[in-house]
C-alpha cells in the first residue's frame, strides 16, 4: 500500500528549512519526485527509491510521513484517508440556464476530425491525450449558451491551445519560437517554409472563421495580440522554472498577478464578445473599470485552476508557478490552510466582480446596457462552466492531493440565499 511505502522512510529530524513534499504515483518501488527548499535553494527532481536516505545535490533528505503532501491515483484507496470537498460557491445568476451545450458531443468529434485533418493529431498517443481533455465538455460547459458555429470554434481553439501549450510553448526558450501561429491568427503573411506547420494552419483557420462569422479585422488583431501576450508570459514563466530562477520574494498578490496572465483567461474572454453579438469599444477596454473587472474574472479562474491542478503541477515540476503550492512553500503552511485562503480570495473576487459590473453598467445609457450586461453574464457562465469541467474532467480528476490523512476534491456549488 502507499502508506507502507511512505513509512519505509525513517522518522528523523531533517536539516530542511521547509517540510519536504513527497510525490507518490502508484505503488511499489520506482521513480519518485522530491520537492523541497534547502538553505533558500529550491530542489525538485526525480529520485529512485533505494533505501532509507536519498542524496540530492549532497543534501541528506529525511521525510516526515505526517507532513508530506502525497499525490495518489483516484482509484487507489489509502487506509485512514478521508476526502474533503472544497466548495467553490457562486450566486445563482452565475450559472447558465443551460448547463451543457446540446452540441457538446458533436463539436468534440468535429474538432478531433479537424485536428487530424491538418496534422495536429498524428498518432494514437496524441488522440488519447486529446480525448482525455474532454474538449466537448470543456467547450460545452463553458460555452453552453453559444450557437453551434461559435461553440465549435471555441472547442477547436481551446483544444488546439492546450496541445500547443504542451507541445510547443512549454519547451520554447523565446517567443520567436512560437510566433508563426500567432502571426497567422493576426492574418499576417507567413513565410512559405512555415505554411505547412499544422499550428500555423490551425490558428489561421481560427482567425478566418471568426471573420466569416462577423468579426472585424480590428477584433481579430486584438484577439491575436492577447494570445501573443499570453505566449510571452507563459514562456517567461516556464524559462524561469526550468532555470530555477523564480523569485521567492514575490508576495502572494504578485504571484497571482503573473498567474492570471499565464492561465490564459483574458484571451478566452475575447470570443465571448462574438457570442454576445458585439465588439467592446476601445474606450471601454482601456478603462480602469473594465481592467479591474477582468482582473477579478482572471483571479476567479486561476484560483480554481490552481487548486484542482495541485496534483498535476507537483508531478510536472511546476510547483512555483502554482499559486497554492507557491504560498505553501513561501509561508510553510498546510495544504488545508492554503486551500482555505484560496477559497476566500475566490469568493471575494466573485463579490467584487458583481459590484464592479453593476457600477459600470450605470455609466451606459439604458438602451446599451442589455448587450453589455449579456456579455458580462456570459463571462460568469464561462467561469462556472470552466469550473464544472475541471470538477469532472479526467485530466484533473485522475489523481488527488492528500496531506495529514485528508485528500481534496473541488465542487462547484450554488450559494445559499
Residue 173 lies inside a defined structural domain of this protein:
yes
User: Tens of pLDDT along 200-248?
Assistant: 999 999 999 999 999 999 999 999 999 999 999 999 888 877 777 666 6
Same domain, 288 and 382: yes
- Which DSSP letter does residue 416 get? P
Residue 46: per-residue pLDDT: 38
Same domain, 139 and 95: yes
Residue 53 lies inside a defined structural domain of this protein:
yes
Q: Is 257's pLDDT higher than 50?
A: yes
Same domain, 58 and 161: no
Cβ(15)–Cβ(38) below 8 Å:
yes
Which of 11, 40, 68 is at the close of a domain? Answer: 68
Q: Is 360's pLDDT higher than 80?
A: yes
Same domain, 64 and 185: no
Same domain, 158 and 216: yes
In the chain, what percentage of residues exceed pLDDT 70?
81
Residue 75 lies inside a defined structural domain of this protein:
no
Q: Which domain holds residue 25?
A: 2-68
Q: How confident is the model at residue 282 (pLDDT cuts 50, 70, 90)?
A: very high
Residue 127 lies inside a defined structural domain of this protein:
yes
Q: What is the pTM of this model?
A: 0.84
C-alpha 24/C-alpha 44 separation (Å) is 14
Residue 77 lies inside a defined structural domain of this protein:
no
Cα–chain center distance at 235: 15
Residue 80 lies inside a defined structural domain of this protein:
no
Residue 27, phi then psi, degrees to nearest 5: -130, 160
Same domain, 124 and 26: no
Same domain, 112 and 161: yes
Q: How confident is the model at residue 80 (pLDDT cuts 50, 70, 90)?
A: confident
Residue 64 lies inside a defined structural domain of this protein:
yes
Kindly give the interhelix angle for 148-167 and 104-117, rounded to the nearest 10 degrees.
50
Same domain, 145 and 177: yes
Q: How confident is the model at residue 128 (pLDDT cuts 50, 70, 90)?
A: very high
Which of 16, 33, 68 is at the close of a domain? Answer: 68
Q: How confident is the model at residue 60 (pLDDT cuts 50, 70, 90)?
A: very low
Interacting residues of 69 by C-beta distance below 8 A, sequence separation 6+: 21, 22, 23, 314, 328, 335, 401, 402, 403
Residue 246: per-residue pLDDT: 62
Residue 33: per-residue pLDDT: 41
Same domain, 21 and 99: no
Same domain, 7 and 93: no
Q: Please count the structural domains in the chain.
A: 2
Cβ(266)–Cβ(280) below 8 Å:
no
Residue 377 lies inside a defined structural domain of this protein:
yes
15-50 burial code (b ≥16 CB/10 A, e <16): ebebbbbbbbbeeeeeeebbbbbbeeebbbeeeeee
Which of 35, 68, 101 is at the close of a domain? Answer: 68
pLDDT, mean of residues 165-173: 94
Q: In CATH, what number is assigned to the domain containing residue 276?
A: 1.10.600.10
Same domain, 175 and 54: no
Same domain, 185 and 53: no
Q: Is 35's pLDDT higher than 60?
A: no
Residue 180: per-residue pLDDT: 97
Instruction: Please calculate the CA angle 39-41-42 and round it to the nearest 5 degrees.
Output: 130
Amino acid at each position: 500500500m502507499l502508506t507502507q511505502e511512505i513509512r519505509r522512510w525513517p522518522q528523523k529530524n531533517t536539516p530542511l528549512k521547509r517540510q519536504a513534499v513527497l510525490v507518490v504515483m502508484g505503488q511499489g518501488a520506482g521513480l519518485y519526485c522530491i520537492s523541497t527548499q534547502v538553505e533558500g535553494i529550491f530542489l525538485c527532481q526525480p529520485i529512485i527509491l533505494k533505501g532509507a536516505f536519498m542524496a540530492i545535490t549532497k543534501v541528506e533528505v529525511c521525510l516526515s510521513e505526517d507532513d508530506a503532501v502525497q499525490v495518489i491515483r483516484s482509484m487507489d484507496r489509502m487506509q485512514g484517508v478521508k476526502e474533503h470537498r472544497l466548495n467553490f460557491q457562486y450566486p445563482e445568476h452565475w450559472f447558465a440556464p443551460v448547463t451543457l451545450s446540446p452540441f457538446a458531443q458533436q463539436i468534440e468529434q468535429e474538432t478531433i476530425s479537424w485536428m487530424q485533418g491538418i496534422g495536429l493529431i498524428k498518432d494514437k498517443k496524441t488522440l488519447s491525450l486529446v480525448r482525455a481533455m474532454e474538449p466537448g465538455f470543456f467547450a460545452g460547459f463553458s460555452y453552453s449558451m453559444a450557437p453551434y458555429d461559435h461553440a465549435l470554434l471555441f472547442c477547436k481553439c481551446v483544444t488546439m491551445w492546450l496541445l500547443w501549450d504542451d507541445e510547443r510553448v512549454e519547451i520554447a526558450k523565446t517567443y520567436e519560437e512560437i510566433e508563426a501561429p500567432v502571426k497567422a491568427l493576426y492574418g499576417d503573411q507567413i513565410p512559405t517554409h512555415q505554411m505547412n506547420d499544422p499550428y500555423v494552419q490551425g490558428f489561421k483557420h481560427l482567425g478566418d472563421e471568426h471573420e466569416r462569422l462577423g468579426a472585424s479585422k480590428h477584433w481579430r488583431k486584438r484577439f491575436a495580440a492577447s494570445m501573443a501576450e499570453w505566449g510571452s508570459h507563459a514562456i517567461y514563466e516556464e524559462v524561469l522554472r526550468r532555470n530555477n530562477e523564480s523569485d521567492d520574494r514575490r508576495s502572494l498578490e504578485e504571484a497571482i498577478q503573473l498567474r492570471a496572465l499565464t492561465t490564459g483567461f483574458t484571451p478566452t474572454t475575447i470570443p465571448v464578445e462574438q457570442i454576445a453579438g458585439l465588439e467592446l469599444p476601445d474606450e471601454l477596454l482601456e478603462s480602469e473599470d473594465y481592467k479591474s473587472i477582468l482582473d477579478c474574472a482572471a483571479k476567479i479562474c486561476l484560483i480554481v485552476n490552481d487548486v484542482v491542478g495541485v496534483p498535476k503541477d507537483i508531478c510536472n515540476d511546476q510547483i512555483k508557478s502554482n499559486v497554492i503550492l507557491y504560498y505553501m512553500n513561501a509561508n510553510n503552511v498546510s495544504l488545508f490552510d492554503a486551500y482555505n485562503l484560496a477559497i476566500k480570495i475566490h469568493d471575494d473576487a466573485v463579490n467584487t466582480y458583481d459590484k464592479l459590473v453593476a457600477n459600470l453598467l450605470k455609466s451606459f445609457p439604458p438602451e446599451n446596457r442589455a448587450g453589455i450586461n449579456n456579455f458580462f453574464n456570459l463571462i460568469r457562465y464561462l467561469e462556472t462552466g470552466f469550473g464544472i469541467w475541471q470538477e469532472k474532467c479526467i485530466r484533473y480528476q485522475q489523481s488527488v492531493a492528500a496531506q495529514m490523512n485528508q485528500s481534496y476534491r473541488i465542487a462547484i456549488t450554488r450559494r445559499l440565499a
